[in-house]
Amino acid sequence: MHRGYVAPDKDGLRLQPADSDDPAIGDRDRPTLEDVSLRVESDDVAVGDEDVATALDRCPMERMLAVMADNPAAAVAGLVAMVCFATWPLFQARWTMLMAYIGNNLGFALHYALLGHWTAVAMNGLMSVQTVVAIMLVHQPRLRWAYYALMPVLALASVVTWQGLPSFLAAAATTMSTIGRMQTNDTVLRVLLLASTPFWAVHDLLAGSAPGLIADVLSMAIGATMLLRHSPAVRIALDRRRPATSRLAAS
């Protein structure tokens, strides 16, 4: 067997004879080389695992703020939508509640588009159209069929833009709010719109949407408070307490 090594030469590379003192690289040296290679690979894996662990250790809010910092346009659109979504329960009339909801839908459609969550974009865009129809349902009941016709479109849009769990949450929230906007009773409307909010909250947590999550929490808190204030049972209880309070004040 010819032993040698490759050495540079002015004409290129050529094989040089090995010195007699140079040990041969044979089978007995392969385990050593393999051990070194395995140690290097294990070090690489350890570094990779450490990076993943560091990413997972970041709190969700910190991750969401980082997403917003990287996309200021999405942050602005989300803030506008957040104001509309958090304040809709404060309105007394049905049509004003739904107008605020349209602002929420359009703002979040742009917000999610900039973040690349296309099921949420489709759901919010179609819901804004549904809400316009819902506002006119009281005076034009025949438009109910147009409202119904948009439901299969919502289902198709969720399938076409499917992105796993976030898509399921967006579709579930949309279903509840879609049924809610059909209601002419303000209390039932509030209940169903409020019931859709937890689904959006989990969706926004997964999507890294800080404005969306904040709006969800505020909407749930304000919506629950307004629902209790407008609940007939709560009104009866308050009416019963008022005469008792008046008698105590008089005495």
9: region left, alpha or beta (phi > 0 left; psi from -120 to 50 alpha): beta
Assess if residue 89 is contained within a domain. yes
Q: Give the least confident one: 34-48, 110-124, 232-246.
A: 34-48
Q: Is residue 218 part of a domain?
A: yes
Say which range, 6-15, 115-124, 188-197, has the weakest mean pLDDT.
Answer: 6-15
Q: What is the pLDDT of residue 199?
A: 96
DSSP 180: H
Range of the domain at 203: 73-236
In single-letter form, the type of residue at position 247 comes to R
Q: Is residue 180 part of a domain?
A: yes
In a domain, 176, yes or no: yes
Residue 145, in any domain of the structure: yes
- Which residue is it, tokens 């999550």? 213
In a domain, 54, yes or no: no
In a domain, 24, yes or no: no
Contacts of 85 (CB under 8 A, 6+ apart): 100, 101, 104, 107, 108, 215, 216, 218, 219
Task: Answer whether residue 246 shows pLDDT above 80.
Answer: no
Instruction: Supply the pTM of this predicted model.
Output: 0.64
The number of folded domains in the chain is 1
Q: What is the mean pLDDT of residues 182-207?
A: 88
Question: What is the pLDDT averaged over residues 214-229?
Answer: 87
230 band by pLDDT with thresholds 50, 70 and 90: confident
Please list, residue by residue across 178-205, b when 16 or more beta carbons sit within 10 angstroms of its beta carbon and e when fewer do: bbbbbbeeeeebbbbbbbbbebbbbbbb
Which of 125, 140, 127, 118 has its CA nearest to residue 179?
127
Dump pLDDT digits (tens) for 25-82: 555 555 554 554 545 444 444 444 444 344 444 577 788 888 888 899 999 999 999 9
- What confidence score (pLDDT) does residue 138 get? 78
In a domain, 114, yes or no: yes
Q: Is the pLDDT of residue 22 over 70?
A: no
pLDDT of residue 81: 93
Q: Check whether 216 has a pLDDT greater than 50.
A: yes
* pLDDT tens digits for range 160-171: 999 999 999 999
Say which residue, 224 or 238, is predicted with more confidence: 224
Q: What mean pLDDT comes out for the span 186-197?
A: 88
Each residue of 136-155: pLDDT tens digit? 887 888 888 888 888 899 99
At 54 the pLDDT is 44
Per DSSP, what are the bridge partners of residue 17? 4
Mean pLDDT, rounded, of the chain:
77
pLDDT at 51: 41
Q: How far apart are CA 82 and CA 210, in angstroms?
A: 10
For the chain, percent of residues with pLDDT exceeding 70: 69
- Contact status, residue 133 vs residue 147, Cβ threshold 8 Å: yes
**In angstroms, rounded to a whole number, what is the distance separating the alpha carbons of residues 209 and 109?**
12
What was the pLDDT predicted at 124? 93
Q: Which of 89-93, 118-122, 132-136 has the highest mean pLDDT?
A: 118-122
How far is it, in rounded angstroms, from Cα 203 to Cα 124? 13
